[in-house]
Amino acid sequence: MLSQHPLEVPEILSHIALYVHERSLPACARVSKGWYQAFIPQIWKDINLTPQRLEAMPRYSHHVKKLRVGVGDLTPDLPQCPNLQSLVLYKYPRSTELVLNHLHITRLCVQHIPLVPELWTILPQLHSLRELDLQMTSVPEQETDTFWQFCTRLERLNVHDVSIPHQGQLSSMAFPNLKQLTVWYPKDLSTILEFMSRCPNLAVLRWCDSPYRQDSNNLVEMIAAKTWPHLHSIGLEHQGIPEEDLIRIMNSLQRMTCLQAKCLSVIQPGTMDLVRPHFASLTTLNLGLYADPSTNRIAQEILSSCPLLERLLFDKVDATAVAEGKPWVCTRLKLLSLHFQFDPLTISDIQPRVFEQIARLYRLDYLRLRDVFGTLPPFQTTVDLRLENGLDKLSTLRSLRVIDFDNSIQKMGEKEIEWVLEHWTSLDMIIGRCNRADSVIQDKLMKLLREHGVKV
């Protein structure tokens, strides 16, 4: 009796489907009946509702785990999705009915929708809900207590440009379950800060207030006072934060996994020294706008010392330090944003070794090779993406979806683009001109990329 081929085993096929690019999933589903059964759940797992998908929903609704419904999807016939986990509603006027049909969801996102009284009568029935995301809306004054009472069950809360009246029972409540909080452009700062003070187990905080208000100093004071002893991930996405506040924040953390902060001034080497004790735990680092010239080698030290790093956004890095430095150990990295600075006299020798370092990042999803913070003039020389310089060393980047070299000088040709299409099979987008020197060649390269479904 012949044994079954591995690519006919449903469990193996279902596992493979998890790693196939979404652009290739429909083709895989058409191979055979067995492949169809294995790949179709992945196609329908996470969807934006469209007229075409609405027509097929009755057949595939049991596969849907994340559903986004927009303003134009006004249909009375949307079937129930029994395995739905996340529901995103954007300007959807029939939100109450849709939520009522999916009381088992664990995440609800409401965008640009008035929180009507009917919705508040439903919220207490969402017993499995652990994450609430409110954007561009307001909490009705008469429902303030209902909102805070509902928040006592949440583990994750996102409030983006949301008005919350300062009244009700907040001063007598506690929110021990809340672990993750995102606040963007708070309209009622004192209310939000009081709420935050009653979240003793907060571990992840993202805060964006533009411009940096004097009142935001209260937040820095609360962090420095160790109001949240479990806090390990901080994203302060203001227009800018004074360096002295950044120092106080870093000094208050026992363990740091994520730090995102745009500093108002040049980051001094002494400030960077505060990051080193956290190299073993860091997963995300973005210190934004300015870096002292003496810190240009710090990025190399981070990349060769942080094994858990997944996202790094840095200003500039000395390419010689990268080429001559220790091997990069951050093989989990998914986003890298760096402007490589080369010495014109040694660039031909240094660049292949820089490619070798980047090639270690085989999980990379987004690669940005330019000055994103605007500290350099446009059209700077960065990594030269040509085969003669070592581009072929980057064949390991099979998960790469986006590469961004905008405002840099590239001189790629047809052979480079053909190599890219063959080896970077997950690529969705290229940001920047592939050949800035010759507009005719650039037009040919754009056409070739678009024929293969790559946006430029």
What one-character-per-residue DSSP string does 344-387 give?
Answer: TTTHHHHHHHHHHHHTT-TT--EEE-S-TTS-S-SSB------G
Residue 1 has a pLDDT of: 42
Amino acid in position 165: P
Q: What per-residue confidence (pLDDT) applies to 133?
A: 95
Strand partners, 241: 263
pLDDT the model gives residue 187: 82
Nearest to 49 by CA among 22, 87, 82: 87
Give every residue of the chain whose pLDDT is below 50, as ranges: 1
For residue 449, what pLDDT is reported? 95
* Block residue for tokens 């109001």: 227
Could you give the angle at which helices 217-224 and 189-197 cross, rounded to 10 degrees? 10
Predicted confidence at residue 293, as pLDDT, reads: 53
Question: CA-CA distance, 441 to 449, in Å (whole number)?
Answer: 12
**What's residue 104's pLDDT?**
95
What is the value of pTM for the model shown? 0.86
Which amino acid is it at 190?
S
Q: How many CB atoms lie within 10 A of CB 237?
A: 17
Say if residues 393 and 323 touch (Cβ distance below 8 Å).
no
Query: How far is 283 from 306, CA to CA, in rounded Å?
Result: 8
Structure tokens given for 146: 């209902």
For residue 148, the 8-state DSSP code is H
Of 45, 53, 110, the C-alpha closest to 79 is: 53
- Of residues 287, 307, 299, 306, the one with CA closest to residue 323: 299
Distance separating alpha carbons of residues 26 and 45, to the nearest angstrom = 13
Distances (CA, A) of 302 to 22, 278, 352, 370, 431: 32, 10, 20, 18, 26
The pLDDT assigned to 375 comes to 56
Amino acid letter, 384: D
HSE of 16 in the Cβ direction (CA atoms, 13 Å)? 18
Nearest Cα neighbor of 283 from 217, 218, 204 is 204
pLDDT at 186: 85
